[in-house]
Structure 1
Amino acid sequence: MPDTTDPYGDEEGPEDSAPLPPAHFAEQALLGALLLNPERLKTLGPLEAVQFANPAHAAVFAAMSALSPPDASVHAKEPAWLIAVLDHARRDARGLTASYLHALVQACPDPRHATAYTRMIRSDHARRTLRVHAGRLAQTATVPVQPDPATAVLAQADALTGHLDLLAGQFAPHPGSLPRTPAPPDPPRDTGTDVAEEERMLVATATAHSGELARVRWLQPSDFALPMHAVLFHCLTALAHRGEPVDPVTVLWESQHRGLLRDAPPAHILTLLSTPAGSIEHWGERVLHRALLHQAHTTAGRIRAFTDDPANSVHQLITGSRRALAGLTAVRTRVRQAHQPSPTATSSPAAPRAGPALRTRAHASGLR
């Protein structure tokens, strides 16, 4: 029997390559069914050559779609259909062999199941395209597009959401269940010098101007990359919520009840909180935008983990991906709130929204 794994007749055997996925055999079975009975092309429903994973298979299907099926009586007596398909397909797959087309015929268990093979191919294509969209989201989040990385990330998220809507319309509704694929660990946060300094500036400025914390209600401790800064911000918001005095000493006292002094000496925290500069809103937006990029990276990793697990159906991929996007949507909502005028903007003489140019001095210690 001809080798059904190799469209080009290369001498390397299948043992020299990775195991072929089930979709490969579904593609072979469908093409074999169409070589046996080209009239079945009319019964497949929406299917395009681009949906085939194997380039040679895509070329064969494109040839079939471009050619007129032969008369049934002629097809029963002559191999004109196979010859025509081979000649046309070789324009895009020059190494394609006639023996491989015969192998496709032999690889088809039952030509009457052509529509089932078609559904398998479409499902596998949905998995691959979803993974591509997730990869683009991850790439945009980890290699930010300047000068507005948040907008670029949100555009990719919109594209991914639109693709999920498209898939939901292409596949019949099904009682959805979440994928059982274990969630991968969240990617590490960027804790470099710039990140640490921006977060430190935020908590120091919030300590000095605690009355302006209402302007950054959209900011959460989980947005911070460094745990120490997250705890300090939590302390600040807790004191402000209770109406208690806020200064470096009161924040230090609050932080000891949250276990922060196990990791940092009191003098270190006092120094960290004592050099405010700029606007709390400016630093808050910087922290939130970085959190948005991190959440986008996390979301993309989860969706790619779903697509890498062949146990997940298309319906599970759609449901799981939408659930993964919910976390990104939540951060996106807070970014939108941050860009809206604050209702307390005229309640106090706030510092102008300025960035690093307003820093009074660099703070080399306590960055982490």
Structure 2
Amino acid sequence: MIPLVHAEQAVLGAIFLEPGQLDRLSPWLRPEHFSRPAHGAVYATMLQLKADDHPATATKAGAPVPLAWVTDTLREASTRTRGLTASYLHSLVSACPRPEHAPVYGRMVLEGAIHRSVAEHAARLHQAALADGQHGAAEETVHHAQVLSDVLADLAHRWGTVPRPAQPPATYAPQAERPQPVGEQALADEELLLGCLSSRPDQLPAVVRWLQPGDFADPSNRQIYRALGALHHRGEPIDQLTVLWETQRRGALADGTLDPERVLRICDPLTGGAAEHFGEQIVQASLVRTAAVAARQVRALADRDELAPGQLISYALHTLGPLDDVRRRLRLAHGDEPGPRRSVSRPGAPPPADRIDAARARSRLADTTTPWVPTPAASRPAFADRHNHRSPS
């Protein structure tokens, strides 16, 4: 029998022996925190009897407990669940080492409930992300991501800790996962967006506010978007050739990530469309992929029994950080959240001159050689004078 079941039996046995322990448990321990339905039903019945002012709940510590406390609990709890017997309730009493330790046993029950609740909600988030990924949606993923965040905040409150993200140590770091397969529609949306931005660079300022290179599933498309962003940041012209040149300067052609033909095909000037629409689709797909990865990582943390509840909550919040960032940027893309202030006053306006100069300066190669400057003709001797001069004899 696992220690958690022992703890549940012990806390119920403590309440049977000293009903007054409910005053110390009821503010924070709930029936749903018990892993076994029968135990939750017994505890819920005890809370109800206490609310109904059952005489046994007024029994002082050390005083005899009326037998009605057990019989009434059995009768009422049997209406909530099946299989309860008087002998099992008496076994709960014998399972309690020390009744006065009931709050400690209760915290063991709550600790198990925290691990179990985090694992369950992480599994639901993962299932929602897989379903949304197949249907090209994100509503269920967004919903379950918010539910998981709310659950972590509530559990932190019940445990008495501050819900503060903390990076887990290397021993708990998630293992590298294989990239998830990406649908053809998602890849098509990425290429259509890049084509729109190449043919209509004036759409870039509105998109770069919430679309990041990491949102692209395809590494090649990610490099092209980085090249577009760099050209825009430096205030340089954007077309097929300038994008191709920028990808070369960034090493994407040399390492095989891209080939010139693909860059020229994607940046076809005949491509048109609304960049914001395709950008929203890309961020939405990125959110679903990020949620699937984060949910698996949180589930793995919840399965580590050695983690204290405060640690589990903090590590889980840190793991959800990238997902929260994508959720924020998706709201920004939908116009549901104001974005950060930018120096560009209107869509399509060029970047400020000082920023352009600084960006161009950073993009120039450092020249460590002394530049050659031709000497003016008037200040240098004639060739014949320098080479045919003879001393007087």
TM-score tier (shorter): 0.7 to 0.9
1:106 offset after TM fit, Å?
2.2
Deviations for 1:293-333, whole angstroms, at most 9, x for unmatched residues? 22222332232222221122221122223222322232233
Partner of 1:366: none
Matched, 1:25 2:6: yes
- Give the aligned residue type for 2:145: A
Within 5 Å, give how 1:342-361 maps onto structure 2: 344-345=346-347
**Aligned equivalents of 1:56, 1:302: Cα separation in 2:** 31
1:223 offset after TM fit, Å?
0.5
Partner of 1:283: 278
Change (3 A) 1:72 1:330: closer
Give the counterpart of 2:324 among 324, 329, 332.
329
TM superposition score normalised by structure 1: 0.77
Partner of 1:194: 185
Change (3 A) 1:44 1:211: closer
- Give the aligned residue type for 1:37: E
Partner of 1:104: 92
**Aligned equivalents of 1:65, 1:241: Cα separation in 2:** 64
**Aligned equivalents of 2:253, 2:87: Cα separation in 1:** 71
Deviations for 1:152-204, whole angstroms, at most 9, x for unmatched residues? 54343333333333223322237976544222545734521111111111112
Change (3 A) 1:266 1:315: same
Change (3 A) 1:234 1:77: closer
Partner of 1:60: 42
1:267 offset after TM fit, Å?
2.4
Deviations for 1:264-301, whole angstroms, at most 9, x for unmatched residues? 54323322332523122222121112112222223322
Partner of 2:266: 272
Q: Which has the larger radius of gyration?
A: 2
Percent identity of paired positions between Structure 1 and Structure 2: 36
- Give the aligned residue type for 1:259: A
Q: Is 1:252–1:269's contact at 8 Å kept on the other side of the alignment?
A: yes
**Aligned equivalents of 1:296, 1:189: Cα separation in 2:** 12
**Aligned equivalents of 1:161, 1:25: Cα separation in 2:** 30
- Give the aligned residue type for 1:26: A
Partner of 1:38: 19
Aligned length: 328
Partner of 1:48: 30
Change (3 A) 1:265 1:145: closer
Partner of 1:245: 237
**Aligned equivalents of 1:78, 1:169: Cα separation in 2:** 35
1:51 offset after TM fit, Å?
1.6
Partner of 1:86: 74
TM superposition score normalised by structure 2: 0.72
**Aligned equivalents of 2:55, 2:68: Cα separation in 1:** 10
**Aligned equivalents of 1:72, 1:151: Cα separation in 2:** 52
1:347 offset after TM fit, Å?
5.3
Partner of 2:222: 230
1:240 offset after TM fit, Å?
2.6
1:113 offset after TM fit, Å?
0.4
**Aligned equivalents of 1:268, 1:78: Cα separation in 2:** 83
Change (3 A) 1:114 1:77: closer
Deviations for 1:313-361, whole angstroms, at most 9, x for unmatched residues? 221122223222322232233223333499534759xxxxxxxxxxxxx
1:116 offset after TM fit, Å?
0.8
RMSD: 3.2
Any gaps of 5 or more consecutive residues in structure 1? 6-19, 349-368
Compare 129-138 and 212-221 and name the one that shifted more: 129-138
Within 5 Å, give how 1:93-242 maps onto structure 2: 93-144=81-132, 149-173=137-161, 178-180=167-169, 181-185=172-176, 188-217=179-208, 218-242=210-234
1:78 offset after TM fit, Å?
7.3
1:104 offset after TM fit, Å?
1.9
Q: Which runs of 4+ in 1 moved over 6 A?
A: 145-148
**Aligned equivalents of 1:77, 1:142: Cα separation in 2:** 54
**Aligned equivalents of 2:260, 2:275: Cα separation in 1:** 23
Deviations for 1:51-82, whole angstroms, at most 9, x for unmatched residues? 21111111222233333254869x84975443
**Aligned equivalents of 2:205, 2:348: Cα separation in 1:** 12
Q: Is 1:232–1:255's contact at 8 Å kept on the other side of the alignment?
A: yes
Q: Secondary structure of 1:144's partner?
A: helix
Within 5 Å, give how 1:274-313 maps onto structure 2: 274=268, 276-313=271-308
